[in-house]
Structure 1
Amino acid sequence: MATKTIKKVRDADATRARILAGAKKEFAKNGLGGGRVDEIALRAKANKRMIYHYFGSKEDLFRTVLEEVYTDIRAAERALELEHLPAREALEKLIRFTWDYYLKNPEFITLVNSENLHKARHLKKSEKIEKLFKRFVSMVGGLLDRGVQEGVFRPGIDPVQLNITIAALGYYYLTNRYTGSIVFQRDLMAPQALEERLAFNIETIMRLVCVDP
């Protein structure tokens, strides 16, 4: 009996994971409005009944996908173990990580864009998101405080403003890469252009934060 119960739980977890993976791809491609439950079911090798059983509705499934992508990036940030590094080195590592994460996970940006179109109505219902960001802001705040103690960072920098700026430097560049490549007449996604942009991002943040950039 116990073995059967364990198998059912594992099967349920596997099905739920497939549905989330399929929903992530579908919503990233077509947004909430254009995303189709039939297509998600096809991607997940599940049926629509199972989707509604596990997630209740398409809206709730979208909210869960958002929670998952935010959980993933926050978990990856914690894995950097920035608290064990000198503050300046830790900040540069966070800047590099954010840039690389956006490049390797383009669906994160498209999903965030989609939720902004809906004025964050799904995230407003999520207690999970609030907890995730409290921990993240605390982590960045601790990094800044450590830098002040080490004599390398200016005091009084708001960790929320800093995070917004780090994110914005990469976010805007990548979300506007197609129009930007035409307007500025350069391939913004060429390897050298990406390296130059990362170097610019690091220099910009360091000049903002450091006592002696």
Structure 2
Amino acid sequence: MTETDLKIVKRDPEGTRRRILEAASEQFATLGLAGARVDAIAKAAATNERMLYYYFGSKEQLYVAVLESMYAEFAEKESHLDLSGLEPRDAIATLAQSIWSHLWDSPRWLGLINGENLHQGRYLQTSEKLRATISPVIDLIRTVLERGAATGQIRSGVDPLDFYVTLVGMGYYIASNRFTISAFTGRDYARQPDRENICEMHLVMLDAYLRPAP
């Protein structure tokens, strides 16, 4: 590493790392791991390739760091929701709407997830941080479900992880596949009225599942 590089590291290490992650997120989401170029990422981050390798080691490690960052941002947003003042089923509805809105508002995140699924998740499997990011969200759901079961408002025995995966899947499928759904069915769920209608349908379905048996 040159003397100039060392000065950059000492002057703004977090800023440089953040700019690299931001530039890499755009490249990987748009072009995938194979198509993204290290020189293009460095240029977009207003740095050089040496700095990229200094912080992340390799293109593949940078890709994993981008995925970790995006998952952490997604989980942090949901885990910080204050649901304590809501009735349990209302709390679940609020959480669901927040997650679904985040999916619609984060096309870059969807692109990254779709790309990693093409890799069969093998890069995410190398992450030592990833699973820890989801724990606060699952704990939040578990707390709401247990509170609802204790008051008789939610059926008992609902697995919080299974419920979370189901909830995310409802929103993810519509947001991620909106173009093919539109081509196949003629209905564009990116249109706010159609999006609101299917969101309402999903909320009714979730609530019907959560209700205790009569």
Q: Decide: shared fold, TM above 0.5.
A: yes
Match of 1:52, as an amino acid? Y
SS at the partner of 1:82?
coil
Q: Distance in 1 between matches of 2:109 and 2:85?
A: 27
1:84 offset after TM fit, Å?
A: 4.3
1:107 aligns with 2:108: yes
Q: Greater shift after overlay, 118-127 or 190-199?
A: 118-127
Paired position in structure 1 for 2:155: 154
Match of 1:77, as an amino acid? E
Contact 1:41 1:48 in 2 (8 A): yes
Q: Distance in 2 between matches of 1:133 and 1:187?
A: 31
Unaligned runs of 5+ in 1: 1-6
1:199 aligns with 2:200: yes
Match of 2:59, as an amino acid? K
1:86 offset after TM fit, Å?
A: 2.4
Contact 2:79 2:136 in 1 (8 A): no
Go from structure 1 to structure 2 and tell me whether the alpha carbon gap of 1:132 and 1:84 turns closer, same or farther (over 3 Å shift). farther
Task: Deviation per CA, 1:21-60: give whole Å up to 9, x if none.
Answer: 0001111111111111121112111111110111000000
Query: What is the aligned-residue identity percentage?
Result: 35
Paired position in structure 2 for 1:4: none
Contact 2:103 2:172 in 1 (8 A): yes
Paired position in structure 2 for 1:42: 43
Runs of 4+ in 1 over 3 A off after TM superposition: 7-10
Contact 2:178 2:189 in 1 (8 A): yes
Paired position in structure 1 for 2:5: none
Paired position in structure 1 for 2:135: 134
Q: Distance in 2 between matches of 1:119 and 1:181?
A: 26
Go from structure 1 to structure 2 and tell me whether the alpha carbon gap of 1:45 and 1:179 turns closer, same or farther (over 3 Å shift). same
Contact 1:87 1:150 in 2 (8 A): no
Contact 1:41 1:51 in 2 (8 A): yes
Correspondences of 1:64-143 after superposition (within 5 Å): 64-143=65-144
Match of 2:76, as an amino acid? A
Match of 1:146, as an amino acid? R
1:133 offset after TM fit, Å?
A: 2.0
Q: Distance in 2 between matches of 1:82 and 1:88?
A: 10
Contact 1:37 1:58 in 2 (8 A): yes
Q: Distance in 1 between matches of 2:116 and 2:134?
A: 17
State how many pairs are aligned.
207
SS at the partner of 2:158?
coil
1:184 aligns with 2:204: no
Paired position in structure 1 for 2:16: 15
Match of 1:108, as an amino acid? W
Task: Deviation per CA, 1:125-149: give whole Å up to 9, x if none.
Answer: 2221121223322221121111101
Go from structure 1 to structure 2 and tell me whether the alpha carbon gap of 1:10 and 1:101 turns closer, same or farther (over 3 Å shift). farther
Unaligned runs of 5+ in 2: 1-7
Contact 1:27 1:62 in 2 (8 A): yes
TM-score by length of 2: 0.91
Is the helix fraction higher in 1 or 2? 1
Contact 1:95 1:201 in 2 (8 A): no
Q: Distance in 1 between matches of 2:68 and 2:188?
A: 33
